[in-house]
Amino acid sequence: MKNEYLNSIKKQFEYYKTVGEKTFLQLNEKDLFWEYNEESNSIAIIVNHLWGNMKSRWTNFLTSDGEKEWRNRESEFEAVIKSKHELLEKWNEGWQCLFDALDSVTEDNFETKIYIRNQEHSIVEAINRQLAHYSYHIGQLVYIGRMIQASQWESLSIPKGKSNEFNKEKFSKGKHKGHFSDDLK
């Protein structure tokens, strides 16, 4: 059960990472810094926040509190990323930290208690907390990208008006195993 959970959660995180990357591909560099209004976050600011959170939560995941003393959360919401290159570097660095931490979880340490701001979590609770947090922000990235691209937006899941076609294809395979994202483009 533990290995099944870890494999499943890695696929979930990979899926959301890919959704973010497919959004970046549809945008030009200036779009990554667009803000709806002065109270809104740009894609670059959201990526900076995700990076800061990932570095804090996943560095020494099994042995130290997930809210590191060196983290400066407030600066994560400032326009510090200045290029697409820098955005992608932080994006990949954060995700690498996450996947390295997940790879460190084994049957032997699965019962380790994880602390975030001194609050105890099981490994499952800590991982699920972060999955929900990251999918929330990646949804924001997609929404911003979709607003910018308008009618030029290419769907990242089942395109509008294609649900019946997608379901017909899925059901034609009969009952089978796999991850829900395996058949998405």
Question: Are residues 167 and 90 part of one domain?
Answer: no
Question: Are residues 107 and 185 part of one domain?
Answer: no
185 pLDDT band (50/70/90 cuts)?
low
Question: Are residues 164 and 143 part of one domain?
Answer: no
Domain interval for residue 174: 158-185
Higher pLDDT, 150 or 173: 150
Token pair of 117, please? 């701001």
Question: Are residues 147 and 182 part of one domain?
Answer: no
Average pLDDT value for residue range 55-83: 97
Average pLDDT value for residue range 27-39: 96
Residue 117: strand, helix, or coil: coil
pLDDT in tens, 95-134: 999 999 999 999 999 999 999 999 999 999 999 999 999 9
Average pLDDT value for residue range 157-162: 86
Question: Are residues 120 and 36 part of one domain?
Answer: yes
Going by the DSSP 8-state scheme, the letter that residue 153 receives in this structure is P
Q: At residue 181, does pLDDT exceed 80?
A: no
Going by the DSSP 8-state scheme, the letter that residue 94 receives in this structure is H
- Measured CA to CA, the distance from residue 78 to residue 162 in angstroms comes to 39
Instruction: Report pLDDT for 183.
Output: 66
